[in-house]
Amino acid sequence: MTLLKCNNLTKTYGNVTALSNINLQIESGHIIGLLGPNGSGKTTLIKLIAGLLSPTSGSIYVQEKPLGTVSKSLISYLPDHSYLNDNWKVQDMIDFFEDFYKDFDSTRAYDMLEKLNINPSHKLKTFSKGTKEKVQLILVMSRRASIYILDEPIAGVDPAARDYILEIILSNYDENATLLISTHLISDIENILDEVIFIQNGTIHTHASVDDLRQKDHKSIDALFREVFKC
Amino acid sequence: MLGKLIKYEQKATYKVLTIINFVIILLTLIGAFILNTNIFNNSESIPLAILLVIFYSLSLIAMGIIIVIYLYIRFYKNLFTAEGYLMHTLPVTPLQLFHSKLIVGYFWTFLNSLLMILSISTLGFVVGYHITKVEQLNFIEFFTENGIQLSEKESFAISFQKIFGYTPEGFVILLLILLIVSCFSSLLMGYLSILLGQLVEKYKLAASVGFYIVIYIVNQVISSFIMILPNLKFMISSIDNTEFFISDFYKNLLPLSIITQLLLGIIFYFMSVLLVQRKVNLD
């Protein structure tokens, strides 16, 4: 069964076309990099899949069902900004996630918080931007979801913590699940990717396996990205 | 899932709203204390008394407005700004999200209105109690129909019915029904405006405020028409019987307001339900 399918997906904002006629099929058990320059349509595509935007035309299916409460229970989504109530404590957010998501594992969340020295009894507003991002990532990765969609998960985190964050992502990722990661920081995540989707001006430029691309072009994904999106 | 949403909605809002309602209780207690003293018995205290009454009235109005605006902001912020990314990706239906906000918001606006009425009634009773003490009247008789036997001091209940066309108990019951209905319609008026604002591509918040003003004016115009029209015949026929005219006007006022607010509330509800089920477009 196809995990995620986008058919002729188009999104326009007034006269501006953010995404044009996207056809995409994603299977289970892959780590996919959604790569593209600023304004290429990465976040728009992710928000459409997460159900936060409605497409101008086209359709999206998760496990062959249209978006709805079932797809929301299968997708674990991390936005590219803070989306939690700053006045809440981390432990309140854990209770919240546990209440709404059947697949949420609070023990796993508390373990990761401890490793990153984040006190769960502190309010979110007392944390720095980077720590808030870590908390969000921990919440999202503590679910046993079918699809994890991470929009810029390491952008606001210092380079020293990036490795640990990637470790969090990988250690919590179930082999049957699929991980869709959008980022500019290709070199940091290149080694964990199975597939890449290059997105340019709202269309898919390339969707291929990392091994195939490396064999074909004899270049790293980072180098290939710089070549494709050269200004 | 609705129960869980209500639980977290209550958790996120109860602190601010409890404080506001507590302030109303505090104002009432202070007011009751001041009214029960003799400080207003000399004419020099009248300006102070007027100032205090104005302060009390404005405070009550402000508390009511703050609560409603707080609930509107909460609705907008939680569903249509950064927090909306969390709320709209929960495995719940948009209707469940909407109803959780409506139920919790309704609970607080109703509680607040009830406290305001209780506050005004308490102060009214304190004033009555003070008058009966000074004039050496029977407090219970003063507030009941038997008070008519007190010859020149007409009882509160009889005067009330003459002016307003209701017994005090009837008035309280109708006022409570109006409260139940108008809390529903006024809360929904704000929620509907915010949902209508989401239909606009840019400046959604400004659009919501604009929609609110338009709906408010429409509401006022409809309410005025409905209240004036049935009274027109009395205005023509009983023009020389002022007392009858006024009591009859008031007699119609509450039931007509109840019907108007109920109808508007139902319209606002179904429009909101339709809008909330549309797919979201978060910026």
Residues of B in contact with A85 (CB under 8 A): 12, 83
Residues 6+ apart with CB under 8 A from B60: B24, B27, B116, B119, B120
- pLDDT for position A209: 85
Question: For every residue of B121-161, which 3-state class applies, written as one string?
Answer: HHHHHHHHHHHHHHHCCCHHHHHCHHHHHHCCCCCHHHHHH
B127-135 average pLDDT score: 73
% pLDDT > 70, chain A: 99
Interface residue A79 vs chain B (CB under 8 A): yes
Q: How far apart are CA B276 and CA B268, in angstroms?
A: 12
Q: How far apart are CA B262 and CA B283, in angstroms?
A: 34
Give the minimum alpha-carbon distance from B281 to chain A in angstroms, rounded to a whole number: 4
Best mutation site among A16, A48, A69 for testing chain B: the one with the most B CBs within 10 Å?
Answer: A69
Query: pLDDT tens digit string along A95-152?
Result: 999 999 999 999 989 988 988 889 999 999 999 888 888 899 899 989 999 999 999 8
ipTM value for the complex? 0.90
Residues of A in contact with B278 (CB under 8 A): 54
Give the minimum alpha-carbon distance from B1 to chain A in angstroms, rounded to a whole number: 7
State the average pLDDT for chain A.
87
Q: Which of B8, B85, B91 lies nearest to residue A83, judging by beta carbons? A: B85
Q: Which of A77, A82, A92 lies nearest to residue B89, judging by beta carbons? A: A77
CB atoms within 10 A of CB B118: 13
Q: Which of A54, A92, A100 lies nearest to residue B91, judging by beta carbons? A: A100
Q: Is the pLDDT of residue A71 over 80?
A: yes
Q: Is the pLDDT of residue A226 over 60?
A: yes
Query: Taking CB atoms and an 8 Å limit, are A54 and B281 in contact across chains?
Result: yes
Residues 6+ apart with CB under 8 A from B271: B192, B195
- pLDDT for position B212: 94
Give the minimum alpha-carbon distance from A23 to chain B in angstroms, rounded to a whole number: 21
Q: Which of B1, B85, B93 lies nearest to residue A52, judging by beta carbons? A: B85
Query: Taking CB atoms and an 8 Å limit, are A100 and B89 in contact across chains?
Result: no
**Global pTM?**
0.86
Q: Out of A217-226, B42-51, B98-107, give the one with best mean pLDDT.
A: B98-107
Q: Is the pLDDT of residue B195 over 90?
A: yes
Interface residue A203 vs chain B (CB under 8 A): no
- pLDDT for position B32: 83
Residues 6+ apart with CB under 8 A from A80: A43, A151, A152, A155, A182
A197-209 average pLDDT score: 87
Q: Is B130 in contact with B100 (CB distance < 8 Å)?
A: no
Answer with the residue of higher pLDDT: B236 or B24: B24
Give the minimum alpha-carbon distance from B3 to chain A in angstroms, rounded to a whole number: 11
Task: Go through A58-74 and write b for each residue having 16 or more CB atoms within 10 A of its CB, e for each that does not.
Answer: bebbbeeeebeeebbbb
Q: Where are the beta strands (DSSP E) in chain A?
A: 4-13, 16-26, 31-35, 57-62, 65-66, 75-78, 147-151, 178-183, 195-200, 203-209
Instruction: Tell me the C-alpha to C-alpha distance, in Å, between residue A190 and each of A32, A35, A186, A209, B120.
Output: 10, 11, 6, 12, 69
Interface residue B89 vs chain A (CB under 8 A): yes
% pLDDT > 90, chain B: 41
Q: Is the pLDDT of residue B147 over 50?
A: no
% pLDDT > 90, chain A: 36
Give the minimum alpha-carbon distance from A227 to chain B in angstroms, rounded to a whole number: 31
Residues of B in contact with A139 (CB under 8 A): none
Residues of A in contact with B88 (CB under 8 A): 51-52
Best mutation site among B89, B95, B96, B198 for testing chain A: the one with the most A CBs within 10 Å?
Answer: B89
Q: Is B189 in contact with B208 (CB distance < 8 Å)?
A: no
pLDDT band at B242 (very low <50, low <70, confident <90, very high): low
Q: Which of B84, B90, B280 lies nearest to residue A72, judging by beta carbons? A: B90
Q: Is the pLDDT of residue B246 over 70?
A: no
B99-122 average pLDDT score: 92
A78-103 average pLDDT score: 92
B207-222 average pLDDT score: 91
For residue A89, give the chain B residue with the closest CA: B12
Q: Is A49 in contact with A6 (CB distance < 8 Å)?
A: yes
Give the minimum alpha-carbon distance from B269 to chain A in angstroms, rounded to a whole number: 23
Q: Is the pLDDT of residue A93 over 70?
A: yes
